[in-house]
Amino acid sequence: MEQARIKWLDALKLFAIFLVLWGHAVQHLLSSEYWDEPVYRIIYSFHMPLFMTISGFFGAKLSSIPFTIVLFRKFRQLLLPAISFGLIYCIIVTCAGNLGGGGIWFFIHSFWFLKSLFLCSITYCIASKVPKYTLFAVVLSLIVSQVIPFCAFDRMYPCFIFGVALYKYFDYFQKNIRVMLAVSASIFIVMLVKFDASFLKGFNSDAIKSFDLMEIGRYLYVRYYRILMGFAGSMTFIALFYSLSRWIPNSKLGDTLCKYGKYTLGIYILQTFFLEMILRDNLSCDGLSFCIFNFIVAPLISSCVLIICLVCIKIIHCSPIASWLLLGESFPREK
């Protein structure tokens, strides 16, 4: 059961990172407003909450690990690659004569999910170590998270805790898998119908300064709608992949595909350079029809970028130092 559980989760992670590539292809290879693209909206309605829920599922064990170990380990796994690639980008743009602006902005704002996951992991680890009042501390940390918008922490931390709860009540989840899948899928589909472009557009900060209650209410409605939709979408695909786990090929091909799901961090980082920068600046798909681009070209480009990222990860693995700096792996890298 433990081996099967890891296998279907790896397959789910590979599916989720492919959605990241697909969504970024739609976002960066068309000149139209990406939030007006239906495929983009569907993907972005749940794919990052899904990643954070999976992270929370694995992060549930942080409560039994000393805080200092968690702090240093998560810094190595999450922040060190973000810092390393951020510095590489700053060097590139500086050498290209773009001193300052673009490089500094990239260094601060890039790889937001890794920074958000670091905050989620550390926050939960601290809250879970409060003796006798662990539940109260976790609930309090959830409340506090709602006033910290940095790196979408206010939306991602509830998803992380959702993953922790899923881990702790996994036996119940297994016994009621069909009901969970049917209910969560129904809720997700109903919520998806109303998920229009307005849910992805930025919030006007002037509304807070002017105490515009209507705008603030709209902001809170959008935030919690997206959080609940993230719960429903995450549960739908977690339940779906768990239900299909018995049919995941027990073959070399199946094992290889599932293994690639372990490299999501490296793929997430490297695709930033290949897809969000190189292809964005050199390829436009505006002339293609909706169906051709969204369901043929974009998935093909995403597959090619995925393969390129995997090749680059394999090359990085040739050096323990590079694996440590760029992929956050232990040094020397465990084999």
32-81 per-position pLDDT tens digit: 888 899 999 999 999 999 999 999 999 999 999 999 999 999 999 999 99
Total number of domains constituting the chain: 1
Name the more confident of 245 and 273: 273
Residues of the domain holding 280: 17-44+261-329
24 assigned to some structural domain: yes
Query: Mind listing the pLDDT tens digit for each residue in 232-261?
Result: 999 999 999 999 887 776 777 777 878 888
Residue-level pLDDT at 4: 46
Rounded mean pLDDT of the chain? 89
DSSP 77: I
Name the more confident of 68 and 330: 68
36 assigned to some structural domain: yes
Residue-level pLDDT at 218: 85
**pLDDT exceeds cutoff 60 at 2:** no
**pLDDT exceeds cutoff 80 at 183:** yes
Name the more confident of 232 and 95: 232
Banded model confidence at residue 87, pLDDT cuts 50, 70, 90: confident
Query: Mind listing the pLDDT tens digit for each residue in 9-31?
Result: 999 999 999 999 999 999 999 99
Query: For residue 268, how far is the Cα from the chain centroid?
Result: 9
Q: What are phi and psi of 270, to 5 degrees?
A: -65, -35
Residue-level pLDDT at 51: 94
Do 73 and 118 contact (CB within 8 A), yes or no? no
**pLDDT exceeds cutoff 90 at 94:** no
267 assigned to some structural domain: yes
Alpha-carbon gap, residue 298 to 233, rounded angstroms: 22
Residue-level pLDDT at 129: 93
34 assigned to some structural domain: yes
pLDDT (average), residues 114-137:
94
Alpha-carbon gap, residue 112 to 276, rounded angstroms: 14
Query: Mind listing the pLDDT tens digit for each residue in 188-213?
Result: 999 999 999 988 876 655 556 667 78
Between 73-77, 137-141, 331-335, the lowest mean confidence (pLDDT) is in 331-335
Residue-level pLDDT at 106: 72
304 assigned to some structural domain: yes
279 assigned to some structural domain: yes
321 assigned to some structural domain: yes
Angstrom CA distances, 80 to 73, 153, 227, 267, 271, stand at: 10, 19, 28, 15, 17
pLDDT (average), residues 176-196:
95
**pLDDT exceeds cutoff 70 at 275:** yes
285 assigned to some structural domain: yes
Between 85-89, 107-111, 178-182, the lowest mean confidence (pLDDT) is in 107-111
H/E stretch holding 143: helix 134-145
Q: What are phi and psi of 254, to 5 degrees?
A: -60, -45
Joined tokens for residue 11: 């397959």
pTM score of the predicted model: 0.91
